[in-house]
Structure 1
Amino acid sequence: MEKPRQSRAGLWNINFGFFGIQIGFALQNANMSRIFQSLGEDIEKLPGLWVAAPLTGLLVQPIVGHLSDRTWLGRLGRRRPYFLAGAVLAAIALFVMPQSPSIWFAATMLWILDASLNVSMEPFRAFVGDMLRVDQHSAGYAVQTAFIGAGAVAGSLFPMLMEAIGVSNVAPPGEIPDTVRYAFWFGGLALFLSVMWTVIATSEYDPARMATFETPGGSDEPAVRALASRSHGAGLGWAAAGVCVILIQREFALLREVLLLGALLIGYGIATSAAIALARRGKEKNMLSAIVGDFAGMPPVMKRLAMVQFFSWSALFVMWINTTPIVAQYHFGTTDAASAAYQTAANWVGVLFAVYNGVAAFAALTLLPHLSRRIGQARTHIAGLACGAIGYGSFFLIRDPVQLVASEIFIGAFWASVLAMPYAILASSLPQSKLGVYMGLFNIFVVVPQLLVATVMGSIMQALFPGEPIYTMAFAAGTLVIAAAAMMRVSALTNKSPS
């Protein structure tokens, strides 16, 4: 049975909550390095403080996805309880964050904020698949991308708008400027109200109705039974890799954040062995075995897209961490986080981030649908990845900060493609009853590269180009070239026009 076709108003209501969620992410992405440096942190230590964001996504999204697949709270529905809970917690975190008295308090609040945003965001990805017919997936994720871009523009511009109306943009050493403080407060309110719009304006298909739309392959039992046939060698292999990372960190005196990467590998190895043991005992209804089994049994398209996501998000995380110090140092001539020039540079980064997000919103509704119809979704994404490589590479050639707008136009086209094309390709290949958990597992390939950047990039910077963050942009451009090459494998597998 086919789902009813959603109207334009339906597409709006389904996706509007993402506008507020992205305001939260934009405030976080554009301002957390600024907050950490304003509180006195060194640039080489920024990646370690940022590690909270990807780590929370890694842990939260698969669990929330698994649980949301199995939730039904009457009139509140299946995904919307998670939208609402995450929005309330994120709004609280945004109100408290600007009051941070220390670096570690700010890092803790970043952890809470990112976890809350992830609780809301992951079910939104699955919500589009829940509510839309297959032939509307591209349109649904394009509208979602447009709201992501619009929300990010608003969040990125908040500090500059505060300065424009007379709010102080300078603070004494160890304090956060009022522009940032008020921006976070307004952002928290906007986030809560926009998510409430989607919660109130939509109604989900109940379990009986959803079952009539089901596609084959939605049960946990086959994945868990397949897991039971595996040996414990896989778990031991992951744990051994983690031990090797820890030994390398100690041998070469790398930054302590690298120990976290080793601990995560060991943890995943232990979780894999535990999941296999539970599956062998016939316990098919436990969450750990279900998630690990689904991860091991990903559809072929998802496996190939995973590689593309890995390299794409490595580049994005490099940009979010380093753009403010890069622009301050190379385009405004300062490395002093307490100076007026640094705060001006930080506000200009907010404008640049608004540009790439604004371009993404426009491209999602115009350029991407046109290209995907003409050349297919996979080739459209290859073109988007190439635009990203050009945008990052141009930072080496441009010294006038105004001209960086051109760089951000290319990055905006890349960002639009990252947010829409992989999900549109993926959604049509997943069983309906597992959209939540598979979207959460797909996020692993968004999070793991960010963890690698957060734990390893600081050591690379310290060893190869201390005090020269612009070279991270060369790394980012190179990873996008690799991502484009990996996307060609997806194109060969799908080899069809989008729905």
Structure 2
Amino acid sequence: MDKPRQGFWGLWNTSFGFFGIQIGFALQNANVSRIFQSLGTAEKDLAFLWIAAPLTGLLVQPLIGHYSDRTWGRFGRRRPYFLAGAVLATLALVGMPNAGGLLAAALLLWLLDASLNISMEPFRAFVGDMLPGRQRTAGYAFQTGFIGAGAVLGSLAPMLLTDVFHVANVASPGEVPPSVRYGFYIGAAALFVAVLWTVLTTREYSPEQLAAFAESDGGQAGRRDTVSNDRIGLAPLWIAGGALVVALVGRLGLDKPVYLLGGGLIAFGLARIVSALLVRGGRGNNALSQILADLAAMPATMKRLALVQFFTWSALFIMWIYTTPIVTERVFHARNATSSAFNEGANWVGVLFAVYSGVATLWAFALPPLARAIGRRNTHVLGLVCGAAGFASLLVIRDAWWLMGSMVLVGIAWASILTMPYAILSAALPAEKLGIYMGLFNIFIVLPQLIVSSVMGAVVSHFFPQDVVWTMAIAAGVMGLAALAMLRVENCA
């Protein structure tokens, strides 16, 4: 028994909520550095303040995936999480541009990213739930199209409000410009309505129906029960490694954010020990033990894709953090965050992000036929190479309009990043564990972001404090490593 094919409106309704979620992410990505700088943050401290985003995703997405796999009630399996996250994200979007200081802004960024992750994570599994295997490349491409469209609107919002509606684009020191503030309000409304659309227009398959579909839906058939591990294993080494990192921070005078890396290693080692003790005590049926057991039992394809994701998202996070200071300094020759030139440059960053998102929207629909012609793996390698070239071009381009060419290349990569890994991965996962494995897959998206947030401030301060454009050389190199790692994944149509 196979899942029914979805028509145009079925694909539309399944992914439309992502349109609103991506408006929220786009407003965050294009404007958070600007908000922090408006509130008085120095460039070298931006990476640390951004750390809320990856740390939140690292904690939230596996938990949401774990519990959404086990949820079933009147409102379905994934949809309750869509709606809860949308409500919280709406409140955070309204609050963030009104933050009274850096601490409040950082806390609201934490809430915003957590809420967006609560809504976003089940959407990845939702496509796998609702579509037969042969439609999943098209399903994730459709999702990517909405992601791109939402990102265009979110990225352009402040500039459109300024140029079309003449909303002020500058503010007094310590305040966020009205164009940004109203852009966040509009984004909050759009996010809530879009997610509500998907919640109200879709009906999920019951656990019994999913079990009946499992033999022919393109995923791995049959139930794969998680076997909790009662071995402590390498946990002491994780703890020792974390302690060594903490000691080196003080010994070598590294930036304080690097403490977070050491703390993370220690926390993971302690979690392994706690889980093993719970299992030995006959209490292995808990979220921590189950998540760690699923992490250890990842399919081989997922492990190979995880390395690709690690490199890919390291490069992307560097771009999101440093594009604003790079463009405002090199193209608009402005460092003062309260100046008209700086805010004009910051608006142009929104335009550039809209360009790569718009290109991704269009390129997404070229991906299914391209994947059938050259394979899913080779399609993704091509996209990653384009991304590396786009980042590298930022090193030499100083003209605002020519930067759009760089963003075209980044947009091709972005479409592939949001589509191909998930189309490949969904075919390698057991149907009843799509939520948890999609959540665990997100670890290899947010872990590199956490590392970048911890160390890039130190890298910039020590190696190129006067010209942050060299961060793009790092981004290009890391994206190239992602393309090489992708060659280890089996090619399939």
Q: How does 1:170-181 map to 2 (within 5 A)?
A: 170-181=170-181
SS in 2 for 1:486: helix
Deviations 1:289-314 (A, max 9, x none): 11000001100000000000000000
- The one-character-per-residue Cα deviations of 1:401-453 (angstroms, maximum 9, x if unpaired) are 11100000000000001000000000011011100000000000000000010
1:119 match: 118
Aligned to 1:163: 162
Paired residue for 1:153? 152
Distance 2:18 2:11 in 1: 12
Give the Cα–Cα distance (whole angstroms) in 1 for the partners of residues 314 and 491 of structure 2: 27
TM superposition shift of 1:236? 1.2
Flag the 1:274–1:216 CA change in 2: closer, same or farther, 3 A.
Answer: farther
5 Å-filtered alignment, 1:193-272, equals 193-214=193-214, 215-216=220-221, 218-221=223-226, 223-224=227-228, 227-228=229-230, 230=231, 232-272=232-272
1:51-200 matches, within 5 Å, as: 51-74=51-74, 76-164=75-163, 165-200=165-200
Query: What's the secondary structure of 1:73's corresponding residue?
Result: coil
Aligned length in residues: 487
Q: Measure, in 2, the Cα distance between the counterparts of 1:334 and 1:422.
A: 39
Q: Which secondary structure state, in structure 1, belongs to the residue aligned with residue 371 of structure 2?
A: helix
**Cα gap change, 1:310/1:217 in structure 2, threshold over 3 Å: closer, same or farther?**
farther
SS in 2 for 1:16: helix
Give the corresponding residue for 2:439: 440
SS in 2 for 1:382: helix
> Secondary structure of the residue that 1:466 maps to in structure 2?
coil
Contact 2:275 2:284 in 1 (8 A): no
Q: Aligned partners of 1:263, 1:357: CA distance in 2, in Å?
A: 35
Contact conserved, 2:378 with 2:491, CA < 8 A, in 1?
no
For residue 298 of structure 1, what is the aligned residue in structure 2? 298
- Which residue in the other structure is 2:391 paired with? 392
Identify the residue that residue 348 of structure 2 maps to in structure 1. 348
Q: Does the Cα contact within 8 Å between 1:93 and 1:113 map onto a contact in 2?
A: yes
1:421 is matched by which residue type in structure 2?
M
Describe the shift of the 1:258–1:217 C-alpha distance in structure 2 as closer, same or farther (beyond 3 A).
farther
Alignment of 1:495 onto 2:487: no
Q: Please give the alpha-carbon distance, in whole angstroms, between the structure 1 residues aligned to 2:433 and 2:413.
A: 28
* AA partner of residue 279 (structure 1): V
How high is the sequence identity, in percent, across the aligned residues? 57
Pick which of 234-243 and 100-109 moved more: 234-243
Residue aligning to 2:217: none
Letter aligned with residue 155 of structure 1: G
The 1-side partners of 2:369 and 2:233 are apart by: 47
How far off its partner does 1:249 sit?
Answer: 0.9
- Residue 461 of structure 1 corresponds to which residue in structure 2? 460
Alignment match, 1:43: 43
CA RMSD, Structure 1 to Structure 2 (Å):
1.0
Q: Deviations over 1:248-282 (max 9, x none)?
A: 11111111111111111111111111112222334
Q: Deviation per CA, 1:342-370: give whole Å up to 9, x if none.
A: 0000000000000000000000012x122
What letter matches 1:15 in structure 2? Answer: S
* Structure 1: runs of 5 or more not aligned: none
Unaligned segments of structure 2, at least 5 residues:
215-219
Q: TM-score, normalised by structure 1?
A: 0.96
Q: Distance in 2 between matches of 1:453 and 1:302?
A: 22
Distance in 2 of aligned mates of 1:462 and 1:220: 48
Partner of 2:40: helix, strand, or coil? coil
**Secondary structure, in 3 states, of the residue corresponding to 1:470?**
helix
| Aligned partners of 1:149 and 1:357 also within 8 Å | yes
In 1, Cα distance between the equivalents of 2:80 and 2:115? 13
Distance 1:68 1:458 in 2: 36
- Alpha-carbon distance, 1:219 to partner: 3.8
Cα distance in 2, alignment partners of residues 443 and 120 from structure 1: 13
Residue of structure 1 in register with 2:280 after alignment: 280
Q: In structure 2, what is the Cα distance between the partners aligned to 1:420 and 1:357?
A: 13
Q: What letter is aligned with 1:448? A: L
Supply the distance in 2 between the matched residues of 1:136 and 1:96 (Cα, whole angstroms).
Answer: 39
* Higher mean displacement: 467-476 or 232-241: 232-241
Q: Given residue 4 of structure 1, which amino acid in structure 2 is its aligned partner?
A: P
Aligned position for 1:410: 409
* Whole-angstrom CA distance in 2 between matches of 1:304 and 1:219: 20
Contact 2:14–2:127 (CA<8 Å) still a contact in 1? Answer: yes
Which consecutive segments of 4 or more residues in structure 1 shift more than 4 A? none
What CA distance in whole angstroms lies between the structure 2 residues aligned with 1:15 and 1:277?
41
Whether the 8 Å contact between 1:220 and 1:284 is mirrored in structure 2 is no
In 1, Cα distance between equivalents of 2:96 and 2:491: 47
